Structure 1
């Protein structure tokens, strides 16, 4: 397996998992913290906002949650973890997939560029980019040490 094939496979896995995790109103996640009674301190889908009208005339807001404890009463994530989970929502991962594919295409073009000093520099840059794209997946069993 080449480094390019390895990166293509990992990007495809990331895309598949992100697509399964959320599309449409479930693609974007948010976290408001414990102070927000509408999300109850959970990571939630902001596009699922529901206004609940109570018998006493008051209104409250509710969201579908990404995280939730079994009873739905107390937050299942902490203030340190919630923002991290929300920041890496499926929508962001799919944007990263797109960017990684563009870097991969750029690297391919540089690898097949003409010779000469500029060609050597392009080749070195391409290999550097490929190593950097592979690095986050270094714990994968197909990762090869020489790519580090």
Structure 2
């Protein structure tokens, strides 16, 4: 009986030693990651900040597109066209009535103003909303794939294009300056790059 007890105690002691070694190795690795390899830690934190910034932009853009769609669907059904000095909807409704032919002043400063309104009718707006939503889906999917495979990571060109897509909405509440595109020619870290055709000399 004493031999069996001794073997049991030896086995328990060996198992506890292995557990302690495993714990010590994990603790050392965590310490190195968090305290010794500071550049890697900073890259990871910067990566997480960038991902958060772009995820926020995607969510904000979805809200703006929902707003665009709401306005377009509430307007007179398109397509619109210009007749004399009036803008006419798909069902013949006068969206904007002109006045010059009736002896009154025109409601438009110029025909170009009227044409601009017609070109941006609800049909056009709804098509743009649909196209931009498709782009947002691709931005979210492809940029996140790039981020998962690169550290320090960005969404590459996808993040740049997303920033550009949001530019028309800079005057809307909630837009953040950090979402603005980098200046033309700036690299991922903000440094200025030059195309090969711009280089001087050999």
TM-score, with structure 1 as normaliser = 0.71
Alignment gaps of 5+ in structure 2: 1-54, 181-202
**Root mean square deviation of aligned Cα:** 2.4
Q: How many residues align?
A: 120
CA 1:16–1:72: 2 relative to 1, 3 Å: farther
Partner of 2:133: 101
Q: Report the more deviating stretch, 63-72 or 92-101.
A: 63-72
Alignment gaps of 5+ in structure 1: 32-38, 49-62
Query: For 1:1-148, what aligned pairs fall within 5 Å after superposition?
Result: 2-22=56-76, 26-31=77-82, 39-45=83-89, 47-48=90-91, 63-68=92-97, 73=102, 74=104, 75-77=106-108, 78-113=110-145, 114-116=148-150, 123-148=155-180
Asked if structure 1 preserves the Cα contact closer than 8 Å seen for 2:85 and 2:97, the reply is no
Taking the aligned partners of 1:72 and 1:143, their CA distance within structure 2 comes to 44
Please report how far the alpha carbon of residue 90 of structure 1 lies from its aligned counterpart in structure 2 after TM superposition: 0.2
Please report how far the alpha carbon of residue 69 of structure 1 lies from its aligned counterpart in structure 2 after TM superposition: 5.1
Higher helix share: 2
CA radius of gyration, larger in: 2
TM-score, with structure 2 as normaliser = 0.53
